């Protein structure tokens, strides 16, 4: 039985621990200390490490974890990942040691140039670990990629079924929903979701994982084809926008300054 445990790190990061029996595989361990504390408390063993992209708050803990136990490190082929033993890109499939989990690799550039996602297709529902590309009700900033790349990456992810669970790298949901409500004030699903997610945060619970049914209904970055989203983007831009990439770029710039 696979268990997925959120380990909060820094101000708003999540390190996802994939656990089966006493074996644990962290996704994006930006900090080693909370992972080591979890391992020690439950007498668990590190079996491998997965990284989605090269940012320090996702890979900074890898050297300290490797110093404790040298395990395979899976990461994007096109980025520098500390201790990486397996360089991955689209089309690769890995069997994660220790937890016997098969993961497909997707290239999802935009936030960073070589960003990858891990998809457990055979789990029911499917599980997606997508780092800082798709967030609950939002998406990552474009540090190294273009709007067109991010639109293509999000479209690739959005092809997954409604029930697929989304494990992303940050607890940004409430701020993202506040922005989503500004883009689509008439979208009742956004208001309902804000109430639900707010209640989780008040109880100290993560708002994650999300799923694609929820994101398709409330995430403005997946809704650039919606007339209401386009109209809001055009009002913000002060002129007509040609195509969903232009709508996406305007909404992304709007969110950056929100």
Q: Which residues are catalytic?
A: 53, 55, 57-58, 111, 132, 170
The SS3 assignment for 125 reads coil
Nearest to 253 by CA among 239, 238, 235, 233: 233
Centre a 10 Å sphere on the Cβ of residue 92 and count the other Cβ atoms it contains: 17
Here the tokens at position 116 are: 């990858």
* Count of residues engaged in binding Zn ion, rule: CB under 5 A: 2
* C-alpha span between 28 and 14 (Å, rounded): 8
Q: Which stretch binds Zn ion (CB under 5 A): 97-105, 131-139, 218-226, 239-247?
A: 131-139
Question: Taking the alpha carbons of 230, 236, 241, 243 in that order, is the dihedral positive or negative?
Answer: negative
53 vs 230 by CB, closer to Zn ion:
53
Q: What share of the chain is helix, strand, coil (3-state, %, to 5)?
A: 35, 25, 40
Nearest to 52 by CA among 122, 134, 162, 123: 134
Taking CB under 5 A as the criterion, the residue among 55, 170, 252, 255 binding Zn ion is 55
Q: Which stretch binds Zn ion (CB under 5 A): 24-32, 118-126, 127-135, 172-180?
A: 127-135
- For residue 143, the minimal CB distance to Zn ion (Å) is 7
55 vs 252 by CB, closer to Zn ion:
55
- Mark residues 79-118: x for contact with Zn ion by CB under 5 A, - for none: ----------------------------------------
- For residue 58, the minimal CB distance to Zn ion (Å) is 6
- 31: contact with Zn ion by CB under 5 A: no
Q: Which stretch binds Zn ion (CB under 5 A): 41-49, 124-132, 219-227, 237-245?
A: 124-132
Centre a 10 Å sphere on the Cβ of residue 227 and count the other Cβ atoms it contains: 8
- For residue 111, the minimal CB distance to Zn ion (Å) is 6
55 vs 84 by CB, closer to Zn ion:
55
DSSP class of 89: -
- For residue 112, the minimal CB distance to Zn ion (Å) is 6
- 171: contact with Zn ion by CB under 5 A: no
Question: Taking the alpha carbons of 169, 118, 127, 7 in that order, is the dihedral positive or negative?
Answer: negative
Question: Taking the alpha carbons of 195, 196, 201, 206 in that order, is the dihedral positive or negative?
Answer: negative
* C-alpha span between 126 and 1 (Å, rounded): 14
- 132: contact with Zn ion by CB under 5 A: yes
Would you tell me which residues interact with Zn ion (CB under 5 A)?
55, 132
């Amino acid at each position: 039985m696979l268990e997925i445990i959120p380990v909060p790190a820094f101000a708003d990061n999540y390190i996802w621990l994939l656990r089966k029996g006493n074996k644990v595989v962290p996704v994006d361990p930006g900090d080693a200390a909370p992972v080591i504390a979890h391992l020690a408390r439950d007498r668990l063993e590190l079996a491998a490490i997965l990284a989605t992209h090269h940012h320090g708050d996702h890979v900074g803990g890898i050297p300290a974890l490797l110093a404790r136990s040298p395990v395979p490190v899976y990461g994007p082929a096109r980025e520098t990942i500390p201790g990486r033993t397996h360089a991955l890109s689209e089309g690769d499939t890995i069997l994660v040691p220790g937890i016997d989990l098969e993961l497909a690799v997707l290239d999802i550039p935009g936030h960073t140039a070589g960003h990858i996602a891990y998809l457990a297709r055979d789990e029911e529902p499917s599980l997606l670990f997508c780092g800082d590309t798709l967030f609950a009700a939002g998406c990552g900033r474009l540090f190294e990629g273009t709007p067109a790349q991010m639109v293509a990456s999000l479209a690739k992810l959005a092809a997954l079924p409604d029930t697929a669970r989304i494990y992303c790298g940050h607890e940004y949901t409430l701020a993202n929903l506040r922005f989503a409500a500004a883009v689509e004030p008439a979208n009742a699903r956004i208001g309902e979701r804000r109430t639900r997610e707010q209640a989780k945060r008040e109880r100290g619970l993560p708002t994650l994982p999300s799923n694609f049914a929820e994101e398709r209904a409330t995430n403005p970055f997946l809704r650039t084809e919606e007339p209401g989203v386009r109209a809001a983007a055009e009002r913000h831009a002060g002129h007509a926008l040609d195509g969903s990439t232009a709508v996406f770029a305007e909404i992304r710039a709007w969110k950056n300054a929100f």
